Amino acid sequence: MNTRVLTRKQLIKDVKTPVKIAVAKGDGIGPEIMKATLRILEVAGANIEPEFIELGEKMYLSGNSSGIDSSAWEAIRSNKIIFKAPITTPQGKGYKSLNVTLRKSLGLYANVRPVTALYPYVHTNYPDMDLVIIRENEEDLYAGIEHRQTQDVYQCLKLITRPGCERIIRYAFEYAKAYGRKKVTCMVKDNIMKLTDGLFHKVFDEIALEYPEIEKDTQIIDIGSARLAAKPEQYDVIVTANLYGDIISDIAAEIGGSVGMCGSANIGQEVAMFEAIHGSAPDIAGEGIANPSGLINAAVAMLAHIGQAEIADKVKNAWLVTLEQGYHTADIYQEEISSKKVGTQEFADKVIANLGQTPKNLNRSVLTHGNGTIQIPEYVRYQQQKELVGVDVFLDWQGDDPDELGKSLAGLDVYKMKLKMITNRGVKVYPEGLKETYCTDHWRCRFVGVDAKINRSEPKYAHIDFEQVVALLSRLNHLGYDVIKTENLYEFDGKRGFSLGQGE
């Protein structure tokens, strides 16, 4: 009999119960690349137990407008890990994006997308590129709160929250620590959006202090993305808000040459979802020629996430070796570099044959820095003193002379409040506006308590009561002004919670 003596560590590992994961085979090329990937994971020794769930096209076409049914929800919520092949969203109205539904419903706040050059095996102008973009996934302009307020003006609300910033930024630093990365760069536009992006930047500075071993940097998003596109090798981990992250993660994947090869993770406090970034490629479905690399990379991230980084490295390294050997699927085949054009399953066979080997030219995968999974503490809210000090009243006003509006509103000494200024599209037009400023039909009129010392650069505002605001609105309405919206002006612990008008 062949007996094996196990060390205690091996013993614990061997008897560890497998991690259950919900697996969606997807549509189009999904089932082919999922089969190839699961075969690799099995031979590599991934300690996982797939539970197959039905998502996507079949569900949509059977009348489920969200593409997912209650049994799949249950499997996802009990297993907490979803491994998902791409799905097809049927053409036509009324079908909701399943990815958006999953992300939002399950609170998957972090989108993590590593991009590493595989030069010369996959063409790129940036052979040394090796970065990870960590994008906030739930907030920002993507809350989808939009309104048309006047005939000419439409609005989209940008929501940035402290818990949202703390979670994503802490995740970025913890990720850097867990995966041996050296630097975290924050990208914001806080020179313009001082409150929202300012908060993101401030929280970044606060949390960075807890990670002195990691280098930190903040860049303004416009020059930051330009530098990313020109010198991607200067970046390591990038953390940013939803919209910026959406844009720069596509830039990064594109210049890395590997849109078809990248995996991505969507991480929540409870649940995490792993998938390739490409779609279901219906044009080549069933032909057996699809590249399973995106899903393999998603699997690597999943294994690292569930604390099986050694297996993750084993799979990743075998995959790198396969690319070095020149076994390439049709989408990355290059006459001069490739040795053989292989199909999906043959590619997987080669990866399996290479398990245990490490690449010669490409950088070896080393995901085994940390000790297991990343935990982010729950948010703790510290109560602050909130005081009402004024109100911005937005009017739909068809006139074109700001002084006319200003003088009539300034004449109202209503309820111990006074008009402080009027802006149009954020620019001060009263008092002392410039006649060159273009004005639309959307006027923001700022009223503050009369005791306010309104001429200081950092004024202290008089506290007012909301009753005064209600009375002011009623008065304006009575006078025939079309009030379209208000924003209360608050101080929090004595600090101004609103921006000044441009030129104020």
- Min. distance of Cβ 251 from ligand NAI in angstroms? 17
219 vs 188: CA distance, rounded Å = 7
- 57 touches which of ligand NAI, Mg ion, none (CB within 5 to 8 A by kind)? none
Residue 246: contacted member of Mg ion, ligand NAI, none (CB under 5 to 8 Å, by partner type)? Mg ion
Find which of ligand NAI, Mg ion, none residue 99 binds, CB within 5 to 8 Å per kind: ligand NAI
3-state secondary structure of 148: strand
First and final C-alpha spacing in the chain: 86
Please choose which of ligand NAI, Mg ion, none residue 281 contacts, taking the beta carbon within 5 to 8 angstroms, the exact cut-off set by kind: ligand NAI
Residue 232 partner contact from Mg ion, ligand NAI, none using kind-dependent CB cut-offs of 5 to 8 Å:
none
User: Pairing between strand 110-116 and 81-84?
Assistant: unpaired
Distances (CA, A) of 490 to 141, 269, 385, 485: 22, 31, 10, 16
Closest residue to Mg ion, based on beta-carbon distance: 246
Is there a contact between 289 and 257 (Cβ–Cβ < 8 Å)? Answer: no
Helices 242-255 & 221-230 angle (0-180, nearest 10): 10
Residue 87 interaction partner, one of ligand NAI, Mg ion, none, beta carbon < 5-8 Å per kind: ligand NAI
CB closer to ligand NAI out of 19 and 276: 276
Q: Which stretch binds Mg ion (CB under 5 A): 228-236, 242-250, 312-320, 346-354?
A: 242-250
Residue 277 beta carbon to Mg ion: minimum distance, rounded to whole angstroms: 9
Provide the minimum distance between the beta carbon of 447 and ligand NAI in the complex, in angstroms, as a whole number.
48
Q: Are 497 and 489 in contact (CB under 8 A)?
A: yes
Q: Verify binding: residue 246, Mg ion, rule CB under 5 A.
A: yes
- What does 442 interact with, of Mg ion, ligand NAI, none (CB < 5 to 8 A by kind)? none
Whether 255 contacts 261, CB under 8 Å:
no
Task: Report in angstroms how near the CB of residue 283 gets to ligand NAI at its nearest.
Answer: 5
For residue 140, what are the contacts with CB-CB under 8 A and spacing of at least 6?
158, 159, 160, 241, 242, 243
Cβ 132 to ligand NAI shortest distance, Å:
19
Which residues are CB-neighbours of 405 under 8 A, at least 6 positions away? 395, 397, 399, 422, 430, 443, 445
Which position's Cβ is nearest ligand NAI?
279
Place of tokens 């208000």: 486
For the CA atoms of 274, 107, 162, 498, the dihedral, rounded to the nearest 10 degrees, stands at 110
Tell me how far, at minimum, the Cβ of 289 lies from ligand NAI, in Å: 7
Of 61 and 366, the one with the shorter C-beta distance to ligand NAI is 61
Residues lying near ligand NAI in the complex (CB under 6 A) are found at: 29, 86-89, 99, 260, 275, 278-284, 290-291, 294, 331
CA–CA dist 140, 189 (Å, integer): 12
- Could you say whether residue 190 binds Mg ion (CB under 5 A)? no
CB of 1 to ligand NAI, least distance (A): 45
Specify the residue, 87 or 312, whose C-beta has the smaller distance to ligand NAI. Answer: 87
Count of chain residues binding Mg ion (CB under 5 A): 1
Phi, psi of 240 (to 5 degrees): -160, 170
* Residue 224 near which of ligand NAI, Mg ion, none (CB within 5-8 Å, type-dependent): none
SS3 377: coil
Nearer to ligand NAI by C-beta: 266 or 468? Answer: 266
Q: Single out the residue of 233, 252, 257 nearest to residue 123, CA to CA.
A: 257
Q: Is 139 in the site for Mg ion (CB under 5 A)?
A: no
Pick the piece of the chain touching Mg ion (CB under 5 A) from 54-62, 244-252, 279-287, 386-394.
Answer: 244-252
Compare residues 265 and 318 and give the one whose CB is closer to Mg ion. 265
DSSP 243-268: HHHHHHHHHHHHHTT-TTT-EEEEE-
In terms of CB distance, is 139 or 491 closer to Mg ion?
139
Q: Helix, strand, coil shares of the chain as percentages rounded to 5?
A: 35, 25, 45
If the CB atoms of residues 101 and 155 are measured against ligand NAI, the closer one turns out to be: 101
CB of 95 to ligand NAI, least distance (A): 9
81, 19 contact by CB (below 8 A): yes
Runs of H (alpha helix) within 181-256? 196-208, 221-230, 242-255
Q: Which helix (H) or strand (E) holds 161?
A: none
Interaction partner, residue 279 (ligand NAI, Mg ion, none; CB < 5-8 Å by kind): ligand NAI
Does position 441 bind Mg ion by CB under 5 A? no
Q: Toward Mg ion, which CB reaches closer, 246 or 313?
A: 246
Question: Minimum Å distance from CB 259 to ligand NAI?
Answer: 8
Give CB contacts under 8 A, 24+ apart, made by 402-409. Answer: 402/429, 402/430, 402/433, 402/439, 402/443, 403/430, 403/433, 405/430, 405/443, 405/445, 406/430, 406/431, 409/445
Q: Of the two residues 29 and 429, which places its CB atom closer to ligand NAI in the complex? A: 29
Question: 229 or 355: whose CB is closer to Mg ion?
Answer: 229
Nearer Cβ to Mg ion, position 298 or 318?
A: 298
Residues near Mg ion (CB under 5 A) are 246
